[in-house]
Amino acid sequence: MRSEYEPIRLSATHRLCLPWLKRTYRILHVTDVHVSTAYPDEPEFFRKEAELRGGVYFPPEGGYSAATRFPLFFRKARELDADCVLLTGDIIDFASRSNLDILSETLADAPVRPVYCLGNHDWSSMYDYHAPGQRALIAERFTGIVNRNAGTTAAGTPALPPSPHYRLEDLGEFLIFAFDNTEDRVAPEVTEAAEDVLTGTKPVLLACHIPFISPTLVEPTFDYWKHVLLIGEGGIAPDAATRYFMELMYAPSSPVFAVAAGHIHFDHEDKLSDNIIQFTTAEGHRGDCGLIELSPGTPYNQVSSGKEQK
């Protein structure tokens, strides 16, 4: 059990050198926090879900619940002088008013810029998981949250309308395109925006919840989950929209250099192609997070476990 004096720790640091960078960027990667709360006046199924998910599946550790731990990731990011906090879904475990308020208020008050995309749990509930009625509420519930604290974009960067299904963030020398693939596919609403971003020339870091399949990720994912919860042939077969997105992502002229994802609850790093690295990060409900460090230099990547952090 984690000490109460260590509510947040780096479980991995991913270092990637890129020759076109002029300075070092630090991105704190947080995923799968699974905040599980409900107000006393909310529907009974939300209150039951909060009791079960917050008390059994994702219980407090070291005196910290997921709800009390979540804002501390931003304090950690400030200590690390991070450029942003990348939140790749399942930050909340279901869409109760209480969870939505915690998510919205934490992002609004964040001392470090948040970049958030949906996970498969954020917008739904275990009692009507991914039901059409829940999906219909995504725009109302999440458009403002996904775009909370958005930065300005430079001239030449695609001008995308606000959406709950994607977020484009301009960090100066590269873009972060955070997008919704929470139904085991790239959301149809993402395709048009992806065309603008993935056919451009400015380098792109992709962020999503469900990872793409890669050579060394299949076995540990199956060992952990007894399913290959990864998008791509040999895992979750892509539909037409997802296949098109992947064609853009893997094209020889693609500006994508890395993907950050969550969902599988453990740290991993692997190449998706000769030009694209994928990082996954351990579950945030235990206080784990990853540091993605992008530096100028000869192309090189290195991952180290949190146990090696000084």
Burial of 33 (0-12, 13-18, 19+ CB in 10 A): buried
Return the percentage of the chain with pLDDT > 70, whole number: 93
3-state SS, residue 107: helix
- Please give the structure tokens belonging to residue 260: 């950050």
Question: What are the tens digits of pLDDT across the range 278-309?
Answer: 999 999 999 999 999 999 998 766 555 543 33
**Overall average pLDDT of the 45-60 stretch:** 89
Question: What are the tens digits of pLDDT across the range 69-128?
Answer: 999 999 999 999 999 999 999 999 999 999 999 999 999 999 999 999 999 999 998 888
User: Which residue blocks in the chain are alpha helix, DSSP H?
Assistant: 44-52, 66-69, 72-79, 97-108, 132-135, 138-146, 191-198, 218-225, 240-250
Question: What are the tens digits of pLDDT across the range 132-163?
Answer: 888 899 999 999 999 987 766 666 677 788 99
Nearest residue to 230 via CA among 204, 259, 252: 259
- What pLDDT is recorded for position 185? 97
- What pLDDT is recorded for position 265? 97
Res 214 pLDDT > 50: yes
- What pLDDT is recorded for position 62? 84
- The answer to whether the CB of 97 falls within 8 A of the CB of 42 is yes
- State the average pLDDT for the chain: 92
- What pLDDT is recorded for position 2? 47
Instruction: Report how far residue 170's alpha carbon sits from residue 94's, in angstroms, rounded to the nearest whole number.
Output: 29
**Overall average pLDDT of the 190-201 stretch:** 94
Residue 53 CB coordination number (10 Å) = 23
Could you list the beta-strand ranges (E) of 145-255: 166-170, 175-179, 204-207
Q: What is the largest CA-CA distance in the chain?
A: 57
**Overall average pLDDT of the 233-253 stretch:** 97
Residues paired with 16 in a beta bridge? 294, 301
Res 310 pLDDT > 50: no
- Please give the structure tokens belonging to residue 176: 């972060």
The CATH H-level (homologous superfamily) assignment of domain 9-305 is Metallo-dependent phosphatases (3.60.21.10)
Residues paired with 117 in a beta bridge? 88
- What pLDDT is recorded for position 54? 87
Question: What are the tens digits of pLDDT across the range 249-258?
Answer: 999 999 999 9
Res 5 pLDDT > 60: no
Q: What is the pTM of this model?
A: 0.93
Per-domain boundaries in the chain: 9-305
Q: Which residue in the block uniquely carries the two structure tokens 């919840």?
A: 209
